[in-house]
Amino acid sequence: MRSFLNRSGFTALLGLGLAAPARAQTDYYNTDRGRPVQIEDAYVTERYAFELKLAPVWLERQRGGIYNWGLDPEIAYGISPRTQIEVGLPLVYTDAGVARRSGIAGLELSVMHTLNRETETWPALGIRADLLAPVGGLAPDRAYPTVTGIATRTYRWARFNVNGQYTFGSALPAAPVGGVVTGAGAAEVSRWLLGGAVDKTFPLQAMLVTAEFFGREPIHEGEPVEYSTSGGVRYQLTPTLVLDGGLGRRLNGTAEGWYVTFGSAYAFSLASLFPTGR
């Protein structure tokens, strides 16, 4: 009977109908970068599953009345066990009063791998490699590769995530004070970033509450290390749809000010991508 099911492809269809929704029902528990906070956990999209980040939106008000907002649609795919690939296309609008700019701020390509599952003695460890390519009018004028190390440790009362990140490539000239930077995408590129987050889940409500603190050194020459803190919520609206929102503040630096985020993600899979038995 098992051989027959494999040959007929029924196993793949069953995986589409049961495995993907089952995974999606707990998607609120897995924090992604920027949804709703910068610090993420060490886990990736399940194998053969897609995660379509439908409308991640952020809005910030910097010191001096400068407003920035952006839309960062992304899609992730679990290409192999504990490994995902992801593509994103950030869209940015900057309003500095007398100067306004909008456009594509780069093409984001990334691969992330979970090195191990969490045990009683070891946290879960993950590694992410990103590339911001010079695509679009507001993108940096060169590619910037980034490597991030991630650790996740879970206790009964809370879960902790730590991220350490470094970006390779030459520094950009200092951003003009009170003006629009050349390449709004480059404005968010960090030479390094280090921070941690703590989150608490409420399984009966399918909800997660999280808070973070991190420091980053901008890629622009002469800019000081910036410190930021934020908090947010992820909520499972349906078995395949998750909503998230956050509120944060940059505590110092040229971009000091408040920012808010809102996003959603839809998890699905395709029967044609599931392996069939011989």
Digitized pLDDT (tens) for each residue of the chain, 278 residues in all? 344 334 444 333 334 333 444 455 778 998 998 889 999 999 999 999 999 998 788 888 877 777 888 888 999 999 999 999 999 999 888 876 666 788 898 999 999 999 999 998 999 999 999 999 999 888 888 999 999 999 999 999 999 999 999 999 988 777 654 444 433 344 578 999 999 999 999 999 999 999 999 999 988 888 889 999 999 999 999 999 999 999 999 999 877 889 999 999 999 988 777 777 54
Q: How many other β-carbons are positioned within 10 Å of the β-carbon of residue 143? A: 16
What's the CATH number where 33 sits? Answer: 2.40.160.40
Q: Distance between alpha carbon 172 and the CA centroid of its chain, in Å?
A: 24
117 domain-assigned: yes
Q: How many other β-carbons are positioned within 10 Å of the β-carbon of residue 202? A: 12
- DSSP assignment, residue 18? I
269 domain-assigned: yes
At residue 92, the pLDDT reads 87
11 domain-assigned: yes
At residue 230, the pLDDT reads 96
Rounded to an integer, what distance in angstroms lies between the CA atom of residue 199 and that of residue 236? 15
Q: Which residues pair with 213 in a beta bridge?
A: 196, 229
278 domain-assigned: no
User: What burial letters (b/e) apply to 166-191, b meaning 16+ CB within 10 Å?
Assistant: ebeeeebeebeeeebbbbbbbbbbbb
198 domain-assigned: yes
Domain that holds residue 80: 2-273
Q: Distance between alpha carbon 242 and the CA centroid of its chain, in Å?
A: 14
Rounded to an integer, what distance in angstroms lies between the CA atom of residue 245 and that of residue 228? 17
At residue 5, the pLDDT reads 35
At residue 184, the pLDDT reads 37
At residue 21, the pLDDT reads 44
**Long-range Cβ pairs for the range 177-180 (8 Å, 24+):** 177/254, 178/64, 178/66, 178/96, 179/96, 179/99, 180/94, 180/96, 180/99, 180/100, 180/101
At residue 37, the pLDDT reads 93
Q: Which residues contact 22 (CB under 8 A, 6 or more apart)?
A: none
Q: Which two tokens stand for residue 11?
A: 């196993």
At residue 172, the pLDDT reads 79
125 domain-assigned: yes
| Total domains present in the chain | 1
